[in-house]
Amino acid sequence: MSCACRAALAALSACLATSACGLPFTNGAPIGLGPKGPVKVALVDVFSGNSGYAHLGPYLKNSLQVQIDGLNATGGLLGSKIQLVTADDQYDMTKTADVVKQVLADRSVKLLVGPSFAGLYLRAKPIIEQARVPNCLTAMAADDVMRRARFSFRAQEADSARMIALLTYIRKNTQMRKVGLIADDDGIGHGYDSQLSEQSGKAGLLYIGAAFVTGTADVKTPAQQMLQRGAEAVVLSNDPATASKTLQAIKQLNASAKLKAFGFSGLSSYSWVQQLGDPASGLVFASTIQAYISDVPEARWPPAYRSFAKEVIARYGTAPNGVEMQGLAAGADCIAQWARAVQAARDFDGTAVVRSWETLDIPASESVLGVHEQFSPANHDAVPPDALCIYQWVKNGNRWGLRLLAGPAP
């Protein structure tokens, strides 16, 4: 080797060792440079099975892809293109952990979106923590499951947030003061019971207790119990099937005027209300933004949400019902939040990205969910109670729509 070559190699080695080239190093990789090849975002969710949730995977896939394509069109992240990969856990607790483990074995996966629902996420949580890969959840409302979830962030309202939002609305905007609960006799139902016991008094309401639904039991009995106890408002199960049976029972008892029904975002599906029909009329629920099927003019939609909704509908059309958008704003927001955190960290390292994610302060105009998102080490939730919308299902002719009753200022 010539003296000139040896000198050039020595200079290069010194440059790399001392960061004299202007590329500081961390964990053996230059800050500001992406890994070789595309950076992968992995979606683990429901794509098949008979759970009734098989639409979630495809809707989330569409949402992530729209946001990822937007990033790639402007150069990607830290010079790397982003690639979406998907895996189906079939809404099966016995499969979720293995699916997540297999996905995260690929070291090029730098963000995991999902899995949905508390039981499935609990199985995956230790694997996510061990892999130190940032994780974004779009359908996991249980607050206790999020405790000490160092690498997980939630782009969905928490159980406590939506309960507070709903009770606050009832207290401020109605004359109703006695609230009851009709829910499944399971952990989620009993969780709602505990929250109502704790939060109703703080909201200035009287909680008269719960009537639980077991299996295929007749829901007329729980509805009659609510009426006998003097309930004026009843909070429904977030499970669409149980909520449907409850609303049908209330209608059959001719009690719709006496017992007003309230619920959560699980009852926001256009397909669900279209199938249920008249018993759903007047139902009030707390949810993240659903402006595209509401009475809110497009000009008043938050800018990032408006762009997302229009792009998803233009690219993927609507569901077979001809109305429902085949996308979920929470999924797109996962990508938007993660991208900001990566840019702030100037690195794809999971620990560094999480640390940056915990400092994000995103204005509502730039959030796909249309809410002011403020994260901290103690708060990994994107949606606070005062950012939720209160909607009511109304029917105009043969078409259903949402009336915005309360929500964040446009």
pLDDT tens, per residue, the chain with 410 residues: 443 434 333 443 333 333 333 333 233 333 334 456 799 999 999 999 877 788 899 999 999 999 999 999 999 999 999 999 999 999 999 999 999 999 999 999 999 999 998 889 999 999 999 999 999 999 988 888 888 899 999 999 888 899 999 999 999 999 999 999 999 999 889 999 999 999 999 999 999 999 999 877 789 999 999 999 999 999 999 999 999 999 999 999 999 999 999 999 999 999 999 999 999 999 999 999 999 999 999 999 999 999 999 999 999 999 998 999 999 999 999 999 999 999 999 999 999 999 999 999 999 999 999 999 999 999 999 998 889 999 999 998 889 999 999 987 54
Q: How many CA atoms lie within 13 A of 340 on its CB side?
A: 18
Cα–Cα distance between 161 and 382 in angstroms, integer? 11
Q: Looking at the structure, tell me whether residues 192 and 256 fall in a common domain.
A: yes
In a domain, 313, yes or no: no
Which of helix, strand or coil describes residue 165? helix
In a domain, 229, yes or no: yes
Identify the pLDDT of residue 209: 97
Identify the pLDDT of residue 36: 62
Give the pTM.
0.87
Q: Looking at the structure, tell me whether residues 283 and 188 fall in a common domain.
A: yes
Identify the pLDDT of residue 31: 36
Other Cβ atoms within 10 Å of 338 Cβ, number? 28
Q: Looking at the structure, tell me whether residues 254 and 393 fall in a common domain.
A: yes
Q: Looking at the structure, tell me whether residues 171 and 279 fall in a common domain.
A: yes
Report the side by side order of strands in the sheet with 152-154. Answer: 82-88, 39-45, 109-113, 135-137, 152-154
Cα–Cα separations (whole angstroms), residue 396 to 188, 272, 287, 372, 402: 33, 16, 21, 33, 10
Place of tokens 């007003």: 260
Q: Looking at the structure, tell me whether residues 133 and 244 fall in a common domain.
A: no
Tell me what percent of the chain is helix, strand and coil, each rounded to the nearest 5.
45, 20, 35
Q: Looking at the structure, tell me whether residues 117 and 205 fall in a common domain.
A: no
Structure token digits, residue 156 = 């969905």
In a domain, 304, yes or no: no
In a domain, 314, yes or no: no
In a domain, 302, yes or no: no
Q: Looking at the structure, tell me whether residues 245 and 394 fall in a common domain.
A: yes
Q: Where in the sequence is the domain holding 275, given as residue range(s)?
A: 160-287+388-406
Identify the pLDDT of residue 140: 87
> Directed axis angle between helix 159-173 and helix 187-199, to 10°?
50
Identify the pLDDT of residue 243: 96
- Domain count along the chain: 2
Identify the pLDDT of residue 44: 98
In a domain, 28, yes or no: no
In a domain, 361, yes or no: yes
Q: Looking at the structure, tell me whether residues 164 and 276 fall in a common domain.
A: yes
- The partner residues of 287 in beta bridges, in order of sequence, read 389
- Interior angle at CA 42, CA 347 and CA 133, nearest 5: 45
Q: Looking at the structure, tell me whether residues 123 and 224 fall in a common domain.
A: no
Q: Are 85 and 103 in contact (CB under 8 A)?
A: yes
| CATH value at residue 55 | 3.40.50.2300
Q: Looking at the structure, tell me whether residues 256 and 392 fall in a common domain.
A: yes
Q: Looking at the structure, tell me whether residues 228 and 345 fall in a common domain.
A: no
Q: Looking at the structure, tell me whether residues 104 and 193 fall in a common domain.
A: no
